[in-house]
Amino acid sequence: MMKKVLDFVQEVGTIMYVGGILSHIVIGNVLGTSDASTVYNIYVYKELSAYILILPGLGLKIISDIVLFFQLRPKPNWLKIKLVMVAILSVNAFVFLVPMMPDLVQLARDSIPFGKVSQAFIEKEHTELLVGVSNILPLLSELILGSFKPKFGKERFK
């Protein structure tokens, strides 16, 4: 029963987390960056969706992975690697991306009177993009490991 609950929590967390990330990508591409007020609205949305979807989704994933880690004996290698990937995603989220969101919103807000985004906004947005792109490999690895639970190393021969 507990395994089913953990799987459900993991799936909900994944949907929230990945869905929030995908919504960030989509809104920027759909609305574009034609003017500063549009960019401001995009970044207000991105900030709020990070707080509503991405961070709680990541939190659910972290909690369910930790509970699963303490329940399983022996600890499977796929779970150990998955936890490392979640740690990387967490550092990127909490150390880099989340602190950038209010700054980006403020820089976009400050650009509105000029009708176009400032160079400071462009540079901060570029940094955000690089950190976001650096999440691709850990995110895909974490999703694949959690879905397929492959055996690694000595586990393959047991």
- What are 125-135's pLDDT values in tens digits? 999 999 999 99
CA distance 93 to 101: 10
Of residues 49 and 154, more confidence is placed in 49
CA 130 to chain CA centroid, Å, is: 13
Q: Considering the domain boundaries, does residue 39 fall inside one?
A: yes
Residue range of the domain that includes 120? 2-76+95-131
Confidence of residue 32 (pLDDT cuts 50, 70, 90): confident
Q: pTM, whole model, 2 decimals? A: 0.93
- Domain assignment present for residue 83? The answer is no
Number of independent structural domains in the chain: 1
Up-side HSE of residue 99: CA atoms within 13 Å toward CB?
8
HSE toward the beta carbon, residue 69, CA cutoff 13 A: 15
Q: With both helix axes pointing from N to C terminus, report the angle between 119-133 and 98-111 in degrees, rounded to the nearest 10.
A: 150
Q: What is the mean pLDDT of residues 98-109?
A: 97
